Amino acid sequence: MAEVAEPAERLVLPPQVVHIVEDDEQFRLSLLDLFQALDIEAEAFEDAASFFARASTAASGCVLLDVRLPSVNGIEFQAKLTGDGYDLPVVFMTAHGDVATSVTAMKAGAVDFLEKPLRTKELLDAIKSALYLDESKQQERAHRMEMRTRAEALTPREIQILGLVASGLMNKQIAFELGISEIMVKLHRGSGMRKMRAKSLAELVRQFELIG
């Protein structure tokens, strides 16, 4: 009978927030009103300086970003976002259609590039895509941290043996490689897999890819 895989553990993530960065106050407030009406959590910033002064690198959600900002433009903002350790998907908006700028933004990983006046459906579709991407990335990061926490309980020998197991070696090969008995390999392998909560070799390989 084929083994049935257990569903992946779903970790609790911080609430997602749409971070609006827009220097036009009236437009900024209208976006806040729209998201509030739709029960989407949002926070607004008038420029790049206020965002980087208040927003946390641990923030979850996305950035809805105007291309033309005072002092720092949208493309520069996007680069600083990455350089400063933020990992928030970006949706650009602009009143000035600029193909070269949009191409640069998309190549740098932007989710979408919207032209003003914004169409509500188009905006919400872009935000939905950005939040979905963020959730996937947050789940991956949280899962990686969980695997590293589990790995901290491993002994040096267990790490060594599990690493060789994950690389594809059999118990007999590992015993020869390390100059120990096959029984000791099995003992360390079993203990290590219990600590990692790995129920199969395939799961152990995925875990070691995350913590490697």
Long-range contacts, stretch 123-126, CB < 8 angstroms, 24+ apart? 123/91, 123/93, 124/38, 126/91
User: How many Cα atoms within 13 Å fall on the side-chain side of residue 35?
Assistant: 21
Q: 196 and 208 in contact (C-beta within 8 Å)?
A: no
| Mean pLDDT, each 10-residue run in order, the chain (212 residues) | 42 84 96 96 95 92 92 88 93 79 79 93 97 92 90 95 94 95 96 94 90 76
Please state the three-class secondary structure of 97-133 as a single string: CCHHHHHHHHHCCCCEEEECCCCHHHHHHHHHHHHHH
Query: 19-48 burial by CB neighbour count: b if 16+ within 10 A, else e?
Result: bbbbeeeebbeebbebbeeeebebbbbbbb
CA 60, chain centre distance (Å): 9
pLDDT (tens digit, 9 = 90+) per residue, 73-118? 888 999 999 899 999 999 999 887 676 677 777 887 789 999 999 9
pLDDT of residue 7: 41
The helix/strand/coil state of 2 is: coil
CA distance 109 to 132: 15
pLDDT of residue 41: 97
CA distance 128 to 110: 14
Q: How far is CA 161 from CA 150, 168, 184, 189, 196, in A?
A: 16, 11, 10, 6, 13
**DSSP-assigned beta bridge partners for residue 17:** 61
Whether the predicted model's global pTM rises above the 0.75 cut: no
